[in-house]
Amino acid sequence: MAGANKGKGSRRSRQEWRSLLAKFDGSGLGVAAFCRREAISAASLYRWRGLLSAVGNDGRTEVVSKTAAFVDVGALSAAAPRIDLKLDLGDGLVLHLVRR
């Protein structure tokens, strides 16, 4: 088994996780199948993928902005024509805004 050399409770280094993530990227497997094969938890895979994606090539952690970009589209004049806006939020939820 590929993950047999690491026992339960053992810790992998950053380099070992980088190698595992590169192996995952090239495996063509889904997360569950890959984690079963390598005897690791999916939560650990997701955690390390997030941690290492924020690290630059020089090994230093980059600052990653968690705020979404905001686009100011300006204000509408009072005489603006009718506006009908629908936003599909997923899972069948639609936000419908109407200005008459």
pTM: 0.48
The pLDDT value recorded for residue 51 is 87
Those residues with Cβ within 8 angstroms of residue 42's Cβ, 6 or more apart along the chain or in another chain: 31, 32, 35
The pLDDT value recorded for residue 61 is 52
Q: Is 8 helix (H, G, I), strand (E, B) or coil?
A: coil
The pLDDT value recorded for residue 67 is 62
The pLDDT value recorded for residue 53 is 82
Q: What is the pLDDT along the chain (100 residues), one digit of tens a residue?
A: 455 556 566 788 989 999 999 999 999 999 999 999 999 999 999 999 888 887 655 555 555 555 667 777 777 676 767 888 899 888 899 999 988 8
Those residues with Cβ within 8 angstroms of residue 23's Cβ, 6 or more apart along the chain or in another chain: 38
